[in-house]
Amino acid sequence: MKKEPNLDDLKRLELSHFEKFQENDALIKNNQRLTQELEIRTAENTVLKATQSESEKINKTLISISNAVNTTVNLNDLYQFIHQALGQIIDSSNFIIAIHDSQNQTFSVPYYVDTMDAIPPLNMNNPQDIDSSVLTGTVLTEGRTLLIKKPEILKLMEAKKKRVFGTIAEIWLGVPLKIQNRIIGVMITQSYTDPNRYNERDVEFLTSVSEQVALAIERKRAVDALKQSEERYRTLVNNLDDIFFSVDAAGRFIYLSDQFESITGYGVNEINRRRVTLTGSDILPIDEADGEVYFDRLIHPEDQKTVLETLHQALQNGSTYRVEYRIIKKNGRVNWVYEKGSSLENPVNGKWLEGFIQDIHESRHAEEVNRVLFGISNAVHTTVDLNDLYKSIHYSLSRIVDVTNFFISLYDKKTDSLHLPYSVDALDDLTPDMYHISSPESNSHTAIVIKTGKPVLHTKEDFQNYLLERNLKPAMTLSKIWLGVPLKIKEEVIGAIVVHSHTNPNLYEEKDVNILLTVSEQVALAIERKRVNEALKLSEEKYRTILESITDGYYETDPAGNLVFCNEAMSRILGYDEKELIGLNNRRYMDEVNTRKVYAAFSRMFQTGKPINRFDFEVITKEGKKRDIDASASLIVDEKNKPVGFRGIARDITEQKIAEKEKKTLENQLQRAQKMEAIGMLAGGVAHDLNNILAGLVSYPELLLMDLPDDSPLRRPIQTIQRAGEKAAAIVQDLLTLARRGVALAEVVNINDVITEYLRSPVFGLLQSYHP
């Protein structure tokens, strides 16, 4: 049985339906809201897509404008590109770019496209005052974007009491071109037909791209200015005679000017690198093993190390540098250059060297020629002998000309011959002494120089033709090029100096002829002076040998009496070392009397000019002993016959004088002895005669006394006679003693003993054999 619903059930049912209705209504509203949101989202998506498309266009435009700085040729090309790029987004049928000069408060119009005024109403490239332009001037002055229509333009013109050049547009839009709040110009677009052509969106667009346009224009102006500057710099550099270069820290040339070829003979493309850093204590030989042609190969071997050290130091210290050195040109000739540069550095490029190389060959060469002339002149005194002088000349000439193959030839006019005292040849192909130089049959280069007295510059072909014309054969291997100049003294040829090359036919030219001619006279003088000096030296050696070998002293003094030269014998006489004597005045080794004596003699000689053959005086030795000197002296005169001193011979006669004194003493003694001898002879004769007389007086009284008795009165007288006789005999004995220069001693002997000794002697035996 069906139950009837009660009131509560109805209420619950009604409430349930109401709740469902509310739910359905909420669902409907929610669906409506979702539909609206969907529509909004759809619209937003549409707008967003449009915005994104426009943003993409703007971004592409900005990127293309930025890239155009590098892709366009010049500023006008960039202005055209900007115009075309902006025209894809905004109507730019009438488009102008004005550039502001803030310093002069003017502007110019480098780019102008207009459909109404195809020809600008005025020369827009000429600077215009900002105040002269109503619209552009306003944008430049106020620094803000200006969107203005024709009625407002006319009011502005009336207010400022200025006119607009050209046709007045229906709408005009100008946007300032700014870089960091600095206005560099104005970008303008306008329409002559539609006053509503531009709106705020267009203002926003142009404003958004204006900074990028300004940057692009400024960068392009900077690039163009840099290019113009580089062009001017390049033109200037290429018009200068110097080499300009940049080289990085690795030694690669960043830039090398065209003048490189005119100075070195090498093309810019032939040189890859140069060394700028030291790789060790010594410089490595430069070769092409690594395929690189180094600039260092051009530097003279003697200068390479100096140049490299200079560059290395500058690069390390970041400093400037300057250096002079020699290069070897492509034709083999030596050339002086001056290099000046500095080390630069930045974070991008790192370190590099930049500088210029100047050809200073003419000025430096003139200096070198003067140095060579001085060096050759000085070498006469500094070299040991002629061969040493030739070596010095060879080395000196190497500074101004290539002397790899070099010789000096000397001419002997008496024998008509050439002699090579010095030669250096790469092939050791040397000619021996040559004779008959003056003969037409002479087949020598040098003979031509000697005969003509003029320089000769011959290539191999030149000399071959010379020999062919005369039907002669060469005396030696022909060089590729040969240069010889005469050595003259007072127009007389004494020889020649010659340089030649076996490999390079272009090594010498007329310049070198003039150079060698310049130094040839000095070379000739140097050789002649050295020859004279050597002859003089040889003569002096002989002279000195003679002086040192003689026992007599030799001296030379100045007019004041100071010794300027003496030999060893003179040193021995005075007891001084030779060095001590030089400069010593005669008063130092003479007393006052002898000083006056010598002074008087020398003064007389000085006045008369006549030499003194002999005069004697005393000197005092270093030890204080006196020595007797016998001297001779003569004047020393200069080339003008003016007395400049004295010279002479001094002989030590001290021993001689002592001997003479001894001789005189002995002579006196001899004379006395001779006198005594004469007296003795006289006394002997007298004594002999007296002995004969006294024999009776001495012996007979003794006999008489033997017969007389002791008491005889006669004994006393006879004894008196006997004593008187004995006294007389004693006197006679004294006379005999004087005559014999001896003393006779009387003694008692046994006559029997004397006779017996004689009878036993050999003398008696011999006598007996002869007389039996």
How do residues 604-616 score in pLDDT, each as one tens digit?
Answer: 888 888 888 888 8
- The residues facing 493 across adjacent strands are 488
Nearest by Cα to 564 from 627, 646, 651: 646
Band the pLDDT of 287: cuts 50, 70, 90: very low
Which residues touch 528 (CB under 8 Å, ≥6 apart)?
Answer: 489, 494
Q: In angstroms, rounded to a whole number, what is the distance separating the alpha carbons of residues 186 and 214?
A: 9
Which residues touch 738 (CB under 8 Å, ≥6 apart)?
Answer: 676, 679, 680, 683
Domains 63-228 and 240-359 fall in the same CATH topology: yes
Q: Is the pLDDT of residue 39 over 70?
A: no
> What are the two backbone dihedrals, phi and then psi, of residue 345, each rounded to the nearest 5 degrees?
-155, 140
Nearest by Cα to 153 from 131, 138, 143, 140: 138
Band the pLDDT of 25: cuts 50, 70, 90: low
Q: Is the pLDDT of residue 281 over 50?
A: no
Q: Is the pLDDT of residue 533 over 70?
A: yes
Q: Is the pLDDT of residue 514 over 80?
A: yes
pLDDT given at position 288: 47
Q: What is the mean pLDDT of residues 95-101?
A: 88
How many other CB atoms are there within 10 angstroms of residue 52's CB atom?
A: 11
Q: Is the pLDDT of residue 373 over 80?
A: yes
Band the pLDDT of 38: cuts 50, 70, 90: low
- What CATH class has 240-359? alpha beta
**Lowest mean pLDDT, pick from 51-60, 405-414, 560-569, 588-597:** 51-60
Average pLDDT, the chain: 81
- As given in the structure block, the two tokens for residue 644 are 């400049």
pLDDT given at position 132: 67
Second CATH level (architecture) for the domain 366-537: 2-Layer Sandwich (3.30)
DSSP codes joined into one string, 480-511: SEEEEEEEEETTEEEEEEEEEESS-TTS--HH
Q: In angstroms, rounded to a whole number, what is the distance separating the alpha carbons of residues 407 and 413?
A: 19
Residue with tokens 């005069």: 615
pLDDT given at position 499: 93
In percent, how much of the chain has pLDDT > 90? 13
Q: Give per-residue pLDDT as tens, 665-685.
A: 888 888 887 787 777 777 777
Q: Is the pLDDT of residue 11 over 60?
A: no
pLDDT given at position 94: 92
- Strand, coil or helix: 619: strand
**Lowest mean pLDDT, pick from 218-232, 253-267, 726-740:** 726-740
DSSP 294: B
pTM for this prediction: 0.47
CATH 3.30.450.20 fits 63-228, yes or no: no
pLDDT given at position 28: 60
- Domain ranges in the chain? 63-228, 240-359, 366-537, 550-652, 673-759
pLDDT given at position 608: 87
Q: Give per-residue pLDDT as tens, 290-324.
A: 555 678 888 888 898 899 889 888 988 889 999 99
CA 157 distance to own-chain centroid: 80
CATH 3.40.1010.20 fits 550-652, yes or no: no
pLDDT given at position 736: 72
Residue with tokens 């000069």: 101
Residue with tokens 């690069």: 315
Q: Is the pLDDT of residue 6 over 80?
A: no
pLDDT given at position 552: 87
pLDDT given at position 542: 74
Buried b (16+ CB within 10 A) or exposed e, 4-35: eeeeeeeeeeeeeeeeeeeeeeeeeeeeeeee
pLDDT given at position 194: 93
